[in-house]
Structures are given as structure tokens and as C-alpha cells.
Structure 1
């Protein structure tokens, strides 16, 4: 008997290598419905994770197994979108409150409801999926826009949308086109954020800095402008650039950069700006939020310092959308 059970277990592992199966698949494998659900009772060798979806083991499922379970629930042609798809595309910024949920796109005619950790979105614009690790993902612009529709915080929205743009994975225009192509549900905040990003804003810190700058009564700057010497040597991208006086204002903190190495590049970039003749100042994000009047005073003084000396022959190009 032990040998028979062991052989059956091996067959199941080969048939369902992810460790996830539907009750219907198990019935086709020879198990009665009663046996399937009896084996999912407390103390049994299996567990039911979603309606009609069984994990063929006890213990905690992996993230991949949760995703496969969600896809089995939603049926053929279903596509993972939202934060999970963004993460699998390599994005690292996302609000933690959405991490426990899986958002899945299904054809509009399919009658599947959200349940447990699965958020089902019926759509008439089912995208052609991109497969990663055997998991069908919505293209990155669609995944980002589906994710931000569920957010209300402008800071969360700008952090999620800015990362793929910063890393060259998509453009502001592509995100905007995806936003326009869908319904208007949950688009008020993303529309405002994309408008800011069209002006060069690339992070929540920069968004707060933009508001502070405008309150300081200073000339309108360029955000995330490319700076070069007169000979065309690339110096870096300035968070905030005042072109008429060649002044740089950076929002400087590792918490707003992708990694410590990015922060190191920021420090080297600052030295390069200064050596080339730009007047440079930097502010920590928490000072922008907590001491706006003091920061504004420093910015005004720095601008006057920059205006008082001859402008160096530096060239700037506004951020690309």
C-alpha cells in the first residue's frame, strides 16, 4: 500500500509540477470530488486555497504558487496585472498595502468574481501577455496604470509611475496613452501625476519640491534636465535647473534613489556640476516637507548668488516625456 501511495504521489508531482490544481483536474486524474475535499480537511495532505483550487501540500504556498492558483481560478487567457506584474517586470517601488493582493485581467464575457487575495478585472481590452517564468503578465504600462487606479495617495502614484520612466522601461506618453485608453475609474490622481511627470517630475520628493519652489517666487525651472558642457560633455541630469543662471537644486537622499550606488553617482554628479561652474545646492526630502520656509530662503539666496556671477557656458536640455 505504501508503495502504491508513493507512486500516486509521484504521478501527481509530475502531472502538477507547480503543486497547484483545480478540483476538476484532480477528478480527471481519478479522484472523486468527495475525496478531493476530504483530503483538504484539517490534518489532510492538501489544502483548498481558492474556490475549486487545491494546493497539493500543506504549509505556506510560495508567491508563484499563489499566482498559479489565481490564474487557474480565472481560467484561460487570464493575465496578471497591477503591482504583481510590475514587480515581475523588475520594478521595485510599490505601496505595501497592495502586496498581498493579485490583480488578474479576464475577458469581459467571463463570469469570475474577486475572492480572497484575487482581484478580478473583467476587460474588453485584454492585452497580449508577456510571459515571464511561465506567468502571463500585462505589458508594463498597462500593469502600472491598473495598479495606480486603486491608489489615492499622490505620493504612492508618482513613486509607482516614475520608476519605469526613470529606468527607461516606458515613457510618460505611453503611460498617458494607456490611461486614456481605459475607463475613467480611478484616474483623477494619476492624471495629475502624469501632468507633473510631463514637466519632468520623477519622484514624490520632486513633486513636493516643485510645490515649494513655486511658493518661493523664483523663476520657473526645468526638472530633470540634461546638463552638458560647451564641448558637449555630459555632466548629469539635474533634479531642478534654472537655465538663465545655471543653478542646480538637488533633492538628495538615498531613500528616493533606487540603490546606494545611485546615491554615490548623485554625489559625483554634484562635484561635476560645481567644477563646471554651476551654482549647486541640495536639500534632504524631509526638510522640504518640514522646513519649507527655511528651504525657500536658501533657494532664494542661492539664486541671487548664481545671478551675481557670469553664467558659465553650460547647455541644458529639458526632460523627455
Structure 2
């Protein structure tokens, strides 16, 4: 044999190699074919009492026992993921020869399974879920079957990688989970944990529930009301901690302002009378069927701010998300406003009352 002699085609690996490799015990029909396993051989391996099993259409578990939770998750993703076929004609799926780091196109875990992966203690453990929700684009031609329940969306969110798996962000996963729940207690516990566990802000949850048209369900509305109240309490606590941790002067907390003998100017979460600087938490959240109320609330915010600033009072609006993700930056904004007070004309005299 010289250098110009063509090499013989590579022999497929023996089937026992696939079965014994714990990294690759869930494969698609296309991946098996890339190993030289014909459809007839695959069918023979999956015969009753055989060493393999077909878990979902075109997806095989290469052992006879019950699949693990991890195997079910990978199987659902393999079933729903879009195959990208490069110019060589080989589907671009996880390579059974390489590291087990699949790239799943246009598919991600959502619903209760996603919340469990995000660490929610109020979500059921994975083995107890009969079906795993999988989020795909609306136009994908897939059907729910076996342990895979297809959830469609007009616009896929950017997935978050959790233990190497693409998982829907918490607000979207919550909406998909709540869509299938009728237990008011279970809905309330999930929404509460989302905020208490600092997974996301109430406004982002309400936005997704609104988009999913779930805010017409009474048990969801009740849970959202509790969520918003709890979210405001948590934001107030963060604001209090920010003042302490970053050494800001002590304000007066939760006050109403009035002109002497005049009208009510509005409530504030924190106020520094000597510097005439105010902080208000923006905890608005969109509500289905309440667009006019939302617009009216925003107009009220704007009117109050304009009125206070005409009186020489600087108003700083802070969202709960900014308090959570950029507390130091928000403290710097307030500190700058306090330091700049000496360069401004004195503010009008106002009466400060407890709220």
C-alpha cells in the first residue's frame, strides 16, 4: 500500500460500545445511522425484551431499564430539536464520538421541569413528572407524545443553560407551568418562590402571564395580587439595606408630602428633607384588561414627579430589578443627587407626614 492507495471505509463501532458508554445512552435514529447502525438493526435491538428501547419517535435509549430523569430530558430535547443538516448531509446533532455537549436548535425545557432545574423547591421532582414541557416555535410540525408535551410560542426566548441543558427563563417557564395548573395553592407557591428566591421580578412574571392570557383566571389573579404585594415588600427591604450597606444618610421612610395648608403631593418610599431628594420604587406591572389603569398610573407618576421637581425636589425612580442587579449603581445615583443639593436653589417648604 502506498500513499495513493485509498483507505478502506471505517468499520462501524460495535453496538455494545454504544450501550456501555454512559455519556451517549440516548441517541436519535440519525446518530445511530452515523455509527453504521441500520434501521433494521435498531428495530432488532428494540424488540420486546431487547437491550434498547424507543422512548420517543426517532429517539432511543440504549438500555432496557427505566430511563433516568437526565435521559428523559435529553430525549425530549432530541425529539423536538431542529436538525441542521450541513453540506455534507450529516445532521448536526450531538456527536456520539465527542464530548456530550449537545446543541439543541429551536427547543428548550419549560414549565414545571424547567422550574425544577432552576432550583424551585415548590416544583415537583423530575421523576414525578409524567410529561416534560418542551418549548418550540409555533410553526414547528411536532406533536405531543409520550413524555414530551409540546408548547408553542410565536417568539422563542433566549434559553438559559442549566446543567448543560437549554431551559426557558423563569418568567416564561412560570407562565407555561401555571397554564396547566388549577390548584390555587400550587400557583401561589410557585409565584411566591420566584420573587422570594430572587429568580426574577414580579413585573416580568406578570408580563408573561399577561402574554399567555392567564390573568382572566381568578386563582391566577389572586396569586398575582399576593405576588405584587410580596414583591413590593422585598423591594422596600432592599432599598433599606442599600442605604445601610452603602453608607447613605438616613432618610425618613414611607412618607406623604403636602404643601402647607395645600394639596397632597404624593407618597414616597424615602425622603431626605435637608437635601430635598426623594426615592420612589417603580413597582408597576402590566395587567390584562387594565391598559387604561396602567396608563393612568404612569401619568400619575409623571405628574407627581413634575410637580415635585417644580418645587425643587429631586425625584429618583428605582425599579426592583435595578435594586437587585445594580444596587451599588443605584446608591451612587442617590449619593450624587444628595451631594448636588447644595448647588440647587432651596426647595419649597413641604409638610412631611408618615404614610
TM-score range, shorter chain: 0.5 to 0.7
Quote the residue 2:32 is aligned against: 26
Q: TM-score, normalised by structure 1?
A: 0.58
Give a deviation string over 1:78-128, Cα, whole Å, max 9, x none.
Answer: 110011111111111025797332000011111111111211012112111
State the 1:72 CA deviation: 1.1
The one-character-per-residue Cα deviations of 1:33-92 (angstroms, maximum 9, x if unpaired) are 122112101221111111221101121211010001101111232110011111111111
Q: How much does 1:161 deviate? A: 1.1
Deviations, residues 240-270 of structure 1 (Å, cap 9, x unaligned)? xxx9xxxxxxxxxxxxxxxxxxxxxxxxxxx
Instruction: Map 1:21-100 to 2 at 5 A.
Output: 21-76=27-82, 77-94=106-123, 99-100=129-130
Gaps of 5+ in 2: 1-10, 83-105, 246-253, 255-319, 322-355
Q: Is the 8 A contact 1:149 1:186 kept in 2?
A: no
State the aligned residue count.
Answer: 214
Provide the alpha-carbon RMSD of the alignment.
Answer: 3.5
User: Residue 153 of structure 2 corresponds to which residue in structure 1?
Assistant: 123
1:263 aligns with none
Q: Distance in 2 between matches of 1:95 and 1:151?
A: 12
Q: How does 1:225-304 map to 2 (within 5 A)?
A: 226=237
Query: Secondary structure in 2 aligned to 1:127?
Result: coil
Matched-pair contact (CA < 8 Å) for 1:39–1:45: yes
1:7 Cα deviation from its structure 2 partner: 4.6
Larger radius of gyration: 2
1:95 and 1:156 in contact (8 A); partners too? no
Local SS of the residue matching 1:70: helix
- 1:167-196 CA distance string (max 9 Å, x none): 112111111111123344985432331122
What's the TM-score once normalised by structure 2's chain length? 0.52
Tell which deviates more after alignment, 31-40 or 174-183.
174-183
